[in-house]
Structures are given as C-alpha cells and as structure tokens.
C-alpha cells in the first residue's frame, strides 16, 4: 500500500459548473450581517480564499476596514449556513477523470486531503453533494490561513499529526489555478496543474508545474505514488 499523500483543490479541479450558489451565499451573508449590498463583479475569484473575496466585496462597497474586520467571523458563519441549506446536487459536476483517479488512489492506499479556498462547511458540503466525501480524510480550508501556501502547509502538518504521511514520502498538490502551483512550490511539494478551470493551459505552463494536464483522465496514478 502506498504512503503517498495527494492534496486536491475543489473548484475547477474536482468540480466545475456548480452554479451560483456559493457566490450568492457570500453576497447574502454580507447583507444579513452588515446590511450592505455587495457584488463579486470585477473580483478575480479564481484561486482566491473566501475571506479574501468577502473583504474585496466590502472594500468595493466602501466599507471601513474596522467593520470588515469585526463583521468577518459572523459573515463566514452565515455564509456557511446559507450554502449548506442551498447547495444543489453536484453528482454530475465532477471534472473528467476525477472519480477514476480517486478510486485508484484509494485502492492503492494513498491518503487524500483538500486544500481549498472554500470555507470549511462549504467545502465539505460540496464533497458530500458530489458523492466524493468518502475519499478525503481531512482538509485545509479558506478561513484557516491567509494564503493558499499556508493552507498547504497546514495540510501537511495535519497529515503528519494523523499519521498519514511522513517527511520524505511522496506528496502532490493537484489544482487548476496559478495559486495552487505557487502553494506547492512554497512547500516544496509536487505541483500537478490541470486545465479544467478558467486559467488557460499556456498560463499554467508558464509557471512550470511538475505535471500539466488537460484533465485528470491523463493522470496516471503511479505518477502520484513515487
């Protein structure tokens, strides 16, 4: 059985075209907590952490920094609660090759975790509604660190704490955004980039990931185990 660890981003990597429910949950949470009407227009959502998206929304609406700081914890809790109630069936929203790859990794005994900008309850709800929850032992989520590199670092610490991975054993971070490649580089782990999100393949290639794929159907499980 393999001792490899494989970390996955969610949006654009495991799932795509999941609808507006996540974005609307953030907007509605801001409105309920602060009374301010906001939008995600003109915000480059791809690869961002949910708390950063919310802060940008509020800054665009001219909210003062103190309000953003003080309201943020309640906004995050409210957004999670809204999304958990509104999340649709995502079983047909998995990216190509995802189910085959996860099943193959599970069969080989690899440990799998999430590294995502989604808030905790939002990320797990997506996995549940997509039918993927069973594959993932743990996750590092958007509210846990200020950067995606920090999330990847937390995931490595948690994997070691659970006895799922030790230093020197194979570890990969699979994602579709430049931020995923940069997070892998910052933690000196294998960067696997997949062009199923909104970032063009040539833009991902410019960052020189260890592996670059059109989609996860091209990824041989052995490449993650050694």
The reply to whether 99 and 65 lie within a common domain is no
The reply to whether 197 and 109 lie within a common domain is yes
**Closest to 214 measured CA to CA, from 47, 96, 114, 112:** 96
The reply to whether 117 and 213 lie within a common domain is yes
Give 139's strand partners: 114
Tell me, what's the pLDDT at 137? 94
Give SS3 for 144.
helix
Distance, CA of 222 to CA of 16 (rounded, Å) = 25
Arithmetic mean of pLDDT, 205-223: 96
Q: Which two tokens stand for residue 104?
A: 């193959």
**Closest to 97 measured CA to CA, from 223, 218, 199:** 218
Predicted confidence (pLDDT) at residue 24 exceeds the cutoff of 70: yes
pLDDT digits (tens, 9 = 90+) for 36-66: 999 999 998 888 999 999 999 999 999 999 9
pTM of the model: 0.95
Identify the domain boundary among 40, 67, 86.
86
Q: Which residue has the higher pLDDT, 46 or 28?
A: 28
pLDDT digits (tens, 9 = 90+) for 160-186: 999 999 988 999 999 999 999 999 999
The reply to whether 107 and 213 lie within a common domain is yes
Q: Given CA atoms 213, 218, 224, 226 in this order, what sign does their dihedral have?
A: negative
Distance, CA of 192 to CA of 223 (rounded, Å) = 10
The reply to whether 9 and 36 lie within a common domain is no
The reply to whether 55 and 96 lie within a common domain is no
The reply to whether 99 and 82 lie within a common domain is no
Element (H, E) at 111: strand 111-115
> What percentage of residues in the chain have a pLDDT greater than 90?
95
Tell me, what's the pLDDT at 47? 86
The reply to whether 96 and 75 lie within a common domain is no
The reply to whether 189 and 95 lie within a common domain is yes
- CB distance 53 to 42 below 8 Å: no
The reply to whether 80 and 161 lie within a common domain is no
Q: The domain containing residue 36 runs over which residues?
A: 21-86
Distance, CA of 158 to CA of 88 (rounded, Å) = 30
Identify the domain boundary among 86, 113, 130.
86
The reply to whether 145 and 176 lie within a common domain is yes
Distance, CA of 41 to CA of 57 (rounded, Å) = 8
Predicted confidence (pLDDT) at residue 136 exceeds the cutoff of 90: yes
Of 1-5, 79-83, 106-110, 200-204, least confident by mean pLDDT is 1-5
Total domains in the chain come to: 2
Give SS3 for 175.
strand
User: Which DSSP category does 199 fall into?
Assistant: S
The reply to whether 166 and 187 lie within a common domain is yes
Identify the domain boundary among 43, 63, 86.
86
Tell me, what's the pLDDT at 40? 95
| CATH number of the domain to which 107 belongs | 3.40.50.1000
The number of helices, as runs of H, and strands, as runs of E, in the chain is: 9, 6
Distance, CA of 14 to CA of 139 (rounded, Å) = 14
User: Which DSSP category does 212 fall into?
Assistant: E
pLDDT digits (tens, 9 = 90+) for 192-213: 999 999 999 999 999 999 999 9
Mean pLDDT over all residues of the chain? 96
Tell me, what's the pLDDT at 1? 61
């Amino acid at each position: 059985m393999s001792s490899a660890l494989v970390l996955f981003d969610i949006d654009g990597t495991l799932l795509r075209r999941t609808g507006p429910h996540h974005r609307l949950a953030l907007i509605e949470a801001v409105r309920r907590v602060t009374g301010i009407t906001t939008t995600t227009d003109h915000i480059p959502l791809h690869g961002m952490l949910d708390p950063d998206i919310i802060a940008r929304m509020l800054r665009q609406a001219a909210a003062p920094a103190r309000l953003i700081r003080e309201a943020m914890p309640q906004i995050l809790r409210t957004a999670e609660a809204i999304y958990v109630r509104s999340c649709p069936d995502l079983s047909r929203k998995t990216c190509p090759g995802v189910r085959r790859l996860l099943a193959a990794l599970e069969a080989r005994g690899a440990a799998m975790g999430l590294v995502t900008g989604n808030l905790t309850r939002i990320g797990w709800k997506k996995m549940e509604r997509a039918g993927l929850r069973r594959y993932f032992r743990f996750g590092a989520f958007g509210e846990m660190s200020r950067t995606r590199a920090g999330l990847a670092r937390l995931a490595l610490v948690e994997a070691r704490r659970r006895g799922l991975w030790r230093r020197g054993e194979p570890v990969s971070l699979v994602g579709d955004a430049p931020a995923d490649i940069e997070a892998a580089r910052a933690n000196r782990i294998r960067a696997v980039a997949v062009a199923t999100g909104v970032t063009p393949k040539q833009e991902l290639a410019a960052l020189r990931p260890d592996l670059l794929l059109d989609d996860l159907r091209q990824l041989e499980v052995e490449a993650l185990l050694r």
